[in-house]
Chains A and B, each alone.
Chain A
Amino acid sequence: MSKEFMPKIISFLCKWCTYSGADLAGTNRMKYPPSILPLRVMCSSRVNPVFLIKSFLYGADGVLIGGCHPGDCHYQSGNYYTRRRFAILTTIFDSLGLESERLRLSWISAAEGTKFVRVSTEFTEKIKSMGENPAKKKIFL
């Protein structure tokens, strides 16, 4: 029997909100799946859409961007730009027939440790049902 498929989800988490939310989940001993590979960024708008494209093409099963709720950005408006860029990128993915469901944007504040656990579990389950990223096995990218 092969082992159960555990996806790899590259997660770009904003230092001020989502990363702290993940920290809170940790200090509260809440469990979230080992699929989440967190990368701390100073702001969700630091995430160049090319990071997502690259993660996807290099075989990440999912990519998560976590940021502050709209209006709560530490830098006033960073997450509004993230939102537009994310909308643009998912539209591009849809237009090219790539799986935009593997990309996810979530607003999780520093106080929402439980939400972080819920979102990461839900997203992991969804990716599990979708299966491995087909890009993983392609060498001609």
Chain B
Amino acid sequence: MDKVLKIDKSAEKGIVELLKYLLLNDRVSGVFTLRKTGNNGSFDYALITEPALLEDSIPLHPFMHVNAGKILSALPSMRKPVAAVIKPCELRSFVELVKRSQGALDDFLLISYTCGGSFPYKTTVKGQMDKLLPEFWEAVKSGLDSDSIRPTCRACEYFVPMNADLTISLVGEKDLDSKCAIFLHSGKSKSMVEGFEAEISKGELKLSRFDSLVKKRKEQKEKDFKEINIQDSGLDGMIDIFGKCIGCHGCSRICPICHCILCDFESCAYDYDTSMIENELLSRGGVRVPTDTILYQIGRLSHMSFSCTGCGLCTEVCPADIPVSTIFRKTGEEVAGLFDYLPGKDVNEEIPVTIFKEDELSELGND
């Protein structure tokens, strides 16, 4: 059975205290968390080894500007694990990257929390944070959704972390301001917190308490899928939606799953030379520039959709406001469903395109 740590402090202060303890007692080599970088509301992920720097850390800040999974995979392997406080979707993305040999779970003590969602990054850029944060935390306490969180988060049913060593319980915790409950799942986490002064008891994070929120989020997801209605509008619908694409490839750069240093679609294989343009002009009488935007989107779907964790950053970075994430999640779920695959759930589960079973899909190819 799991253990639960109860600290008589607010959730954020409690976890910072624990991080400090881990760092001071040399249980971890460093701490990876969100930290204020200025006085204008800016923040960033930071890898910290100096305990005093933890003063400015804001591990539970409800914002997501990058996917930490991708950053973790770029961090060096240190003498001891690094304690990383990340969101559940970032953790799932990291697990997907580990499957692709882009990181190792052993390098980290993975700390996550039941996530109430994050705000669009633009709200912090525009300095509206102070107004929104109190309302957000009230909503989290009562286990509801704040109205101003990202649409992707409102449609996310995987807000309880998978594969975390420690889970901070936030959603539905009425006394967040005075109590901090941290669940310890792995042997690694139990030995690491040894000696930490807090009330320790046995307990488990019961999933049933989130049923109503999961149900609500699932309904929202179905509603979003219905709204884009891409399956009924066909090629013309694709042109309507992706016609706005300016070909910046920002969605793949921010995507935690798209880890390739040289993306296939940025290689010279997709360059247009004069003869190709001439051919296009001869056969169609016109060619769209930038070229191949729809090819890029469908191609990217074929590369990574089954591993899409639905973190929603692609939608957020899109300068043309294309609902990329909703489309990728919808298609991704259908593709992953073919193989009963849930991205980020189990690190030992192999990526669908890298394995096969001899006795599957037998209806294909038999004429």
| B338 interface contact, C-beta 8 A | yes
Contact of B302 among A49, A71, A119, A141 (CB under 8 A): A49
The answer to whether residues A91 and B283 also contact, given A77-B356, A97-B234, A140-B243 and a CB cut-off of 8 A, is no
Task: Judge whether A83 and B365 touch: CB under 8 Å.
Answer: yes
A140 touches B239 (CB 8 A): yes
Shortest distance in angstroms between A59's beta carbon and chain B's nearest beta carbon?
Answer: 7
Answer whether A97 and B353 are a contact pair too, CB < 8 Å, given A80-B358, A83-B365, A139-B288.
no
* Chain B residues closer than 8 Å to A57, beta-carbon distance: 294-295, 298
Q: Are B235 and A92 within 8 A (Cβ)?
A: no
Q: Which residues of B contact A125 (CB under 8 A)?
A: none
B364 touches A83 (CB 8 A): yes
Within 8 A of B (CB), among A114-136: 115, 118-119, 122, 134-136
Beta-carbon contact of B352 and A88 below 8 Å: yes
Nearest CB of chain A from residue B119's CB, rounded to whole Å: 29
A122 to chain B, nearest CB (A): 7
State the CA gap A71–B362 with chains docked (Å).
Answer: 12
With a cutoff of 8 Å between Cβ atoms, the chain A residues found around residue B301 in the complex are 92, 96
A87 CB contact (under 8 Å) in B232, B283, B305, B364: B364
Contact digits for B339-367, partner A, Cβ 8 Å, 1 yes 0 no: 10000000000001100111011101111
Evaluate contact between B284 and A83: CB separation under 8 angstroms.
Answer: no
Would you call A136 and B284 a contact (CB within 8 A)? yes
Knowing A53-B298, A84-B353, A87-B361, the reply to whether A95 touches B334 (Cβ < 8 A) is yes
* Residue among B330, B352, B360 making CB contact with A95, cutoff 8 Å: B330
Nearest-neighbour CB distance to chain A for B263, whole angstroms, equals 12
Question: Is A19 an interface position by the 8 A CB rule?
Answer: no
Whether the Cβ atoms of B305 and A107 lie closer than 8 Å is no
Who on chain A is nearest to B301 by CB?
A: A92
A44 to chain B, nearest CB (A): 9
A15 and B288 CA atoms in complex are apart in Å by: 35
B233 within 8 A of A: yes
Q: Which residue of chain A has its CB nearest to the CB of B283?
A: A59
Option from A80, A86, A89, A141 in Cβ contact (under 8 Å) with B295: A141
CA distance A80 to B264 in the complex (A): 23
Task: Indicate if the CB atoms of B367 and A115 lie closer than 8 Å.
Answer: yes
How far is A96 from B362 in the complex, measured between Cα atoms in Å? Answer: 24
Residue from the set B286, B294, B357 with the largest chain A CB neighbour count within 10 Å: B294
What residues of A have a CB within 8 angstroms of the CB of B365 in the complex? 67, 70, 79, 83, 86, 105-107
Min Cβ gap B306→A in Å is 7
Chain A residues closer than 8 Å to B292, beta-carbon distance = 141
Assess whether A96 is in contact with B231, with CB atoms less than 8 Å apart: yes
| A89 near B364: Cβ-Cβ < 8 Å | no
Q: Is A80's CB under 8 angstroms from B294's CB?
A: no
Give A62-100 as 1s and 0s: 1 = Cβ < 8 Å from B's Cβ atoms: 000001001100000101110111111101101111110
Residues of A contacting B295 in the complex (Cβ-Cβ under 8 angstroms) = 50, 53-54, 57, 141
Name the B residues within 8 Å of A138 (CB-CB): 235, 239, 284
List A contacts of B192 (CB < 8 A).
none
Checking B294, B327, B356 against A141 with a beta-carbon cut-off of 8 angstroms, the contacting residue is B294
Most buried by B among A84, A89, A135: A84
Q: Is B198 an interface residue (CB 8 A)?
A: no
Instruction: Using A59-B283, A87-B364, A106-B365 as known contacts, say yes or no to A97 and B231 having CB atoms under 8 A apart.
Output: yes
Give A118 to B306 CA distance when docked, in angstroms: 34
**Interchain residue pairs with CB less than 8 A apart (30):** A49-B302, A50-B302, A53-B302, A54-B295, A80-B357, A80-B358, A81-B353, A81-B356, A83-B365, A84-B353, A84-B356, A85-B302, A86-B364, A86-B365, A87-B338, A89-B302, A95-B231, A96-B230, A96-B231, A96-B301, A97-B233, A105-B364, A106-B365, A107-B365, A118-B367, A119-B367, A122-B367, A134-B235, A139-B288, A140-B239
Binding site for B on A (CB under 8 A): 49-50, 53-54, 57, 59, 67, 70-71, 77, 79-81, 83-89, 91-92, 94-99, 105-107, 115, 118-119, 122, 134-141
Known: A96-B301, A138-B284. 10 other contacts (CB 8 A): A70-B362, A80-B356, A80-B357, A84-B360, A86-B364, A88-B352, A91-B334, A135-B235, A139-B287, A141-B295
